[in-house]
Amino acid sequence: ETATDAEPTDPASLLGRGDEAQVRADDRHVFHSWSAQAAIDPLPIEHAQGSYFWDYAGKRYLDFSSQLVNMNIGYQHPRLVAAIVEQAQRLCSIQPAFANDVRGEAARLITERAPEGLNTVFFTNGGADANENAVRMARLHTGRQKVLAAYRSYHGSTAGAISLTGDPRRWPSEPAVPGTVRYFGPYLYRSAFHAETKQEECDRALAHLRELVMLEGPHTIAALVLETVVGTNGILVPPPGYLDGVRALCDEHGILLIADEVMSGFGRCGEWFALDHWGMTPDLITFAKGVNSGYVPIGGVLISDTVAATFADRPFPGGLTYSGHPLACASAVASIRIFEDEGILANARMLGEEVIAPGLAELATKHPCIGEVRGLGVFWAVELVRDRATREPLVPFNAAGADAAPMTQFAAACKSEGLWPFTHFNRTHVVPPCTSTPDEVREGLAMLDVALEAADRHTTGA
């Protein structure tokens, strides 16, 4: 009997789904991200639905992390799953040199939601390679090499993207790819400029950038890259005037502006793109995560007509086997339509304004460990401190092991309550799916309330 003669196989038996031995094999044979392999104890997830997932012991967790801040549409959205199945039955894979209907439709829908003048998309497999390719385009377009990138930023972990990254995740890869020059972005709570108001922070951050550009030589700088709202480094919302100031400085010197919207885009900030809040138009926008909530891996670069024109008569030297993968594009198309049909952007804005902002403000009145809360949409940070007056962080910068114990205890307290938190250094981020209901978010804030008592124990005045 040949494979083609065989009876269709039952897909569940093909996968051997749910087998305990398979779950143990994950521990034994999968090399996990960002971890000492012997130290990891990954929680096996049995199933997920909406804003929740369940482990094999039947314990339910409310997801306040949206996985890695990508599960914007919630788990197992039935219409999104159906769209992927439908596409899988028609055409699973086609290489990027062919034209494809769902790829075209995904690009059309994404460009229609971007600022004016960005009308083409280069599809990638995720966020890091989107940033790699945006920088490559900027270098080829300008004929310059240097890229300005911020401290307290994350842009991905491939060679070029980790070189842009301005946080400790870059350290083990240094010196990395040369040509990155680091600047300080605005962060009023821990101002590098000793500013006391948003206006001062904005003015001084822009003055710092101007001086940096002058000293580096404007004619050597291809691009400035920023996260529109900084994500894993603390949900840093730019002060009014900052993005316009950066845009003007770049225009003055022919420097391209790359907005990394991998984490902040597609509903996270209550808009298609975080930059919609400020009406700023970059030359290149990178995206991934929320565009289809990671149901199938995809990312991309939105390209301005001016940059795209560079490659009209000159080949673009880059490509990926899975660029514009049909399953990924079909899921992006379906996701964008579902966002519109179900009013998900408005839901994210409402959750931020009516539930998370007042809820966190109330927690801050009860818990001395809360130094500051900040954010917008479903993108919030709670900064935990040992002492509100000095703003000393609850754990030192980049703490690990015993130094990180107060945060480890806090995270364990969340999990024991049934809340899956997103924690980084001395912060916990409140980043639930954009589709969460107000009651679910209130339930999560109530669990956070209990877990914060573990952090209060390390705080002066508790």
Asked if 132 touches ligand PLP (CB under 6 A), the answer is: no
Asked if 372 touches ligand PLP (CB under 6 A), the answer is: no
Q: How far is the CB of 232 from ligand PLP (least distance, A)?
A: 6
- Of positions 132, 167, 201, 260, contacts ligand PLP by CB under 6 A: 260
Six-digit token string for 418: 């049934």
Residue with tokens 């972990």: 157
Q: How far is the CB of 438 from ligand PLP (least distance, A)?
A: 26
| DSSP, residue by residue, 285-352 | EEE-GGGTTTSS--EEEEEEHHHHHHTTSS------TTTT-HHHHHHHHHHHHHHHHTTHHHHHHHII
Name the residue among 283, 316, 287, 281 with its Cα closest to residue 300: 287
Q: Could you say which residues in the range 427-446 bind ligand PLP, by CB under 6 A?
A: none
Print the binding letters for residues 44-83 with ligand PLP: x by CB under 6 A, - otherwise: ------------------------x---------------
Print the binding letters for residues 154-173 with ligand PLP: x by CB under 6 A, - otherwise: xxx-----------------
- Of positions 115, 126, 368, 421, contacts ligand PLP by CB under 6 A: 126
Asked if 263 touches ligand PLP (CB under 6 A), the answer is: yes
**Which residue number, 242 or 287, has a Cβ lying nearer to ligand PLP?**
287
Q: Are 182 and 213 in contact (CB under 8 A)?
A: no
Instruction: Spell out the residues 6+ positions from residue 455 whose beta carbon is closer than 8 angstroms to its own.
Output: 367, 369, 384, 394, 406, 407, 409, 410
**Which residue number, 154 or 295, has a Cβ lying nearer to ligand PLP?**
154
Name the residue number minimizing CB distance to ligand PLP.
127
- Of positions 246, 256, 262, 369, contacts ligand PLP by CB under 6 A: 262
- Of positions 160, 166, 186, 231, contacts ligand PLP by CB under 6 A: 231
CA angle 65-127-156, nearest 5°?
80
CA angle 258-260-263, nearest 5°?
170
Asked if 227 touches ligand PLP (CB under 6 A), the answer is: yes
Q: Tell me which DSSP letter residue 236 carries.
A: B
Query: Coil, strand, or helix at residue 105?
Result: helix
Asked if 273 touches ligand PLP (CB under 6 A), the answer is: no
Asked if 266 touches ligand PLP (CB under 6 A), the answer is: no
Work out whether strand 256-260 and strand 221-227 pair parallel, antiparallel, or are unpaired. Answer: parallel
The angle, 0 to 180 degrees and rounded to 10, between the axes of the packed helices 326-341 and 101-113 is 40
**Which residue number, 239 or 290, has a Cβ lying nearer to ligand PLP?**
290
Q: How far is the CB of 293 from ligand PLP (least distance, A)?
A: 12
Q: Maximum distance among all alpha carbons in the chain?
A: 77
Asked if 127 touches ligand PLP (CB under 6 A), the answer is: yes
Six-digit token string for 335: 């996701």
Buried b (16+ CB within 10 A) or exposed e, 171-192: eeeeebbebbeebbbbbbeebb
**Which residue number, 227 or 456, has a Cβ lying nearer to ligand PLP?**
227
Print the binding letters for residues 302-341 with ligand PLP: x by CB under 6 A, - otherwise: ----------------------------------------
Question: 60: number of CA atoms within 13 Å, CB side?
Answer: 9
- Residue 76 amino acid letter: Q
Asked if 288 touches ligand PLP (CB under 6 A), the answer is: yes
**Which residue number, 231 or 432, has a Cβ lying nearer to ligand PLP?**
231
**Which residue number, 264 or 304, has a Cβ lying nearer to ligand PLP?**
264
Neighbours of 37 (CB within 10 A): 10
- Of positions 121, 128, 222, 338, contacts ligand PLP by CB under 6 A: 128
Size of the site for ligand PLP (CB under 6 A): 16
Stretch binding ligand PLP (CB under 6 A), from 49-57, 150-158, 301-309, 431-439: 150-158
Binding site for ligand PLP (CB under 6 A): 68, 126-128, 131, 154-156, 227, 231-232, 260, 262-263, 288, 299
